[in-house]
Amino acid sequence: MYGLVKKIMFQLQPESAHDIVEWSLSRIGRYTPALLSPFAKRFFVVNERLNQSLFGTTFAHPVGLGAGFDKNATMLKGLMALGFGHIEFGTITPKAQPGNPKPRLFRFPKEESIQNAMGFNNDGLERIKARLQAHYPFAIPLGANIGKNRLTPPQNALEDYRTLINGLNDLCDYMVINVSSPNTPGLRDLQNETFISELFSMAKEITMKPILLKIAPDMPHESAISLCQCALEHGASGIVATNTTTDYSLLDGAKEFGGLSGKVLREKSAAFFRAIAQTFYGKTTLISVGGIDSAQEAYARILDGASLVQIYSAFIFKGPSLNRDINEGILSLMDRDGFHHINEAIGANR
Ligand SMILES: Cc1cc2nc3c(=O)[nH]c(=O)nc-3n(C[C@H](O)[C@H](O)[C@H](O)COP(=O)(O)O)c2cc1C
């Protein structure tokens, strides 16, 4: 079935295809939620061996949707029915903004990879807040991924994050600080210890919500470890690794802007995650994202120390059955290795 949907969608410009998916999933969820239940039965894996309690929230299984697919939190019910165990919506900025000029989203089907330069196109805090007020608390954990507006100068960036944390405090289960997108000029410069320590210190004063740091895979591993250490010392509840890469040498035909994701990112992201986990496994919650497209890859990240994994690009290329396949595959691999519960597998390689 997804083969047919994909064939049609891949005839369209990637962003038009995404708009159609958003239109459909948001309306099905709103007007005919009963239609979703056959999908949920098919795609959502329920098995107590995969349940986890992390930062005060129960995750039914470890596979979630990476940030950027549901930027405006319009598709939550539909995406849950397609099998995701948690959804990270956003990136949300305080004010609505259109993002970068189009075209800004490119598929590479042969390489199962994506290049995007979206630039935090989103409806802005107030509209998204109103939407979330109708849904939250939600049936699965919701993460709010937050970033600064493009036009906010670096010296005012902290205020953008303060506004977002205050605004979303009662409308999500965790938040993720995004200073790792390559598509907002200057954003990655905020991946420095001065800013990160100020930001998490400020956050601790205004919220009890768990706040995680999402990082890019392009900095040296040692610098990333220092940055994560700094975030954790100042109150971060976990690390999400990684965002897209700006290493364009990974993909023949890549443009010289935006970020790469999917299969071409896999090795880089996995190695980066491994380096982070080597230092921080057992000290905080780790989420691995980047090039995950199978149960084997998800399980490898779990053995390396990931409590949760997220997918984005592979969802486009393989469809929602990937959620079921990854979870069922993880259960088989746990059987093979003699783990009864996922908690025994997490970090088993450490
Ligand atoms: C089109 C697109 C838009 C994205 N937008 C965001 C975003 O707004 N915020 C964010 O933190 N990550 C964003 N990402 C990054 C993903 O969440 C994820 O970290 C990255 O794509 C690597 O995972 P993947 O290889 O499974 O796609 C985006 C990725 C894509 C492909």
**Domain residue ranges of the chain, discontinuous segments joined by +:** 2-345
3-state SS record for the chain? CHHHHHHHHCCCCHHHHHHHHHHHHHHHHHHCHHHHHHHHHHHCCCCHHHCEEECCEEECCCEEECCCCCCCCCCHHHHHHCCCCEEEEEEECCCCECCCCCCCEEEEHHHCEEEECCCCCECCHHHHHHHHHCCCCCCCCEEEEECCCCCCCHHHHHHHHHHHHHHHCCCCCEEEEECCCCCCCCHHHHCCHHHHHHHHHHHHHHCCCCEEEEECCCCCHHHHHHHHHHHHHCCCCEEEECCCECCHHHCCCCCCCCEEEEHHHHHHHHHHHHHHHHHHECCEEEEEECCCCCHHHHHHHHHHCCCEEEECHHHHHHCCHHHHHHHHHHHHHHHHHCCCCHHHHCCCCC
Phi, psi of 125 (to 5 degrees): -55, -50
256 class by beta-carbon count within 10 Å (0-12 exposed, 13-18 middle, 19+ buried): exposed
Ligand 1 atom with the smallest distance to the CA of 293 is 26
Q: What digits encode the pLDDT tens for the residues 187-222?
A: 999 999 999 999 999 999 999 999 999 999 999 999
Ligand 1 atom with the smallest distance to the CA of 262 is 25
Indicate which residue's Cα is closest to atom 7 of ligand 1. 68
Between the CA of 147 and the centroid of ligand 1 the distance, in Å, is: 13
Q: Which of 187, 243, 250 to mutate to test the pocket of ligand 1 (most atoms within 8 A of CB)?
A: 243
> Are the C-beta atoms of 214 and 180 separated by less than 8 Å?
yes
Ligand 1 atom with the smallest distance to the CA of 263 is 25
Between the CA of 350 and the centroid of ligand 1 the distance, in Å, is: 27
Question: Does the CB atom of residue 243 touch ligand 1 within 6 A?
Answer: yes
Which amino acids are annotated catalytic? Answer: 181
18-22, 183-187, 275-279, 293-297: segment of lowest average pLDDT: 183-187
How far apart, in whole angstroms, are the C-alpha atoms of residue 15 and residue 150?
Answer: 21
Question: Does the CB atom of residue 68 touch ligand 1 within 6 A?
Answer: yes
pLDDT of residue 35: 86
The answer for residues whose C-beta is within 8 angstroms of residue 201's C-beta and 6 or more apart is 234, 235
pLDDT of residue 104: 98
> Are the C-beta atoms of 122 and 72 separated by less than 8 Å?
yes
350 has pLDDT over 90 = no
Between the CA of 121 and the centroid of ligand 1 the distance, in Å, is: 13
22 has pLDDT over 90 = yes
32 has pLDDT over 90 = no
Mean pLDDT of 89-107: 98
pLDDT of residue 348: 98
Q: What digits encode the pLDDT tens for the residues 298-329?
A: 999 999 999 999 999 999 999 999 999 999 99
Could you say which of 3.40.250.10, 3.20.20.70, 3.40.50.10420, 3.40.50.300 is the CATH number of the domain covering 2-345?
3.20.20.70
pLDDT of residue 33: 80
pLDDT of residue 141: 98
Q: What digits encode the pLDDT tens for the residues 263-290?
A: 999 999 999 999 999 999 999 999 999 9
Question: Does the CB atom of residue 78 touch ligand 1 within 6 A?
Answer: no
Question: Does the CB atom of residue 313 touch ligand 1 within 6 A?
Answer: yes
Question: Does the CB atom of residue 258 touch ligand 1 within 6 A?
Answer: no
Question: Does the CB atom of residue 145 touch ligand 1 within 6 A?
Answer: yes
Global pTM value: 0.98
Question: Does the CB atom of residue 298 touch ligand 1 within 6 A?
Answer: no
Indicate which residue's Cα is closest to atom 11 of ligand 1. 67
Q: What digits encode the pLDDT tens for the residues 243-266?
A: 999 999 999 999 999 999 999 999
pLDDT of residue 304: 98
Between the CA of 245 and the centroid of ligand 1 the distance, in Å, is: 10
Ligand 1 atom with the smallest distance to the CA of 66 is 17
Q: What's the whole-number average pLDDT of the chain?
A: 97
Question: Does the CB atom of residue 314 touch ligand 1 within 6 A?
Answer: yes
Q: Give residue 1's pLDDT band: very low, low, confident or very high (50, 70, 90).
A: confident
Question: Does the CB atom of residue 14 touch ligand 1 within 6 A?
Answer: no
Indicate which residue's Cα is closest to atom 10 of ligand 1. 67
